[in-house]
Amino acid sequence: MWSFIDEYINYIKVGACVLLGCIVFYSGFHIGNNRYVEYKASVEATAKEQEEKIKSIRSQQELVNKGIQNEYEGKLAALRNYYGGMHINPGSRSVPGISPAPKGADAETAYPILAGQCAETTLQVNLWQEWATENGLIK
């Protein structure tokens, strides 16, 4: 009986080495695959968290933008109403007989217009700064 084993001992050794190699390969594959599956799940969870964070930031920014827009429209209407009432009615003055050649724009009517335009620009800058500050605080 030992003679039978002696004849095939080299085949048995090769078979055992192949079996051992397969076991080592499968265990290495299994461990690597488990690590990959865990990594993939963590990446998906992180991506979902990031999407939720982005949705939250976008909704907060929309609220800030809508609030600033409503504030701007209200204040702009008030400014236009205030500075629109400052226009001087040139027809209420006495009319001279012969008028001299104009030296430039009529300053009395230009100043309220200029003041209104400056107030609108100042309002835009102030609200832009407020918008930038509020959007910078959103995280």
The set of residues, in sequence order, having a beta carbon less than 8 Å from that of 103 and lying 6+ positions away, is: none
What would the 3-class secondary structure string for 81-126 be? HHHHCCCCCHHHCCCCCCCCCCCCCCHHHHHHHHHHHHHHHHHHHH
What's the whole-number mean pLDDT along residues 1-29?
87
What's the whole-number mean pLDDT along residues 122-137?
89
Question: Do the beta carbons of residue 57 and residue 134 sit within 8 Å?
Answer: no
pTM of the model: 0.56
- What pLDDT score was predicted for residue 84? 76
For residue 135, what are its two tokens? 């959007």
Q: Which amino acid is at 33?
A: N
What's the whole-number mean pLDDT along residues 125-138?
88
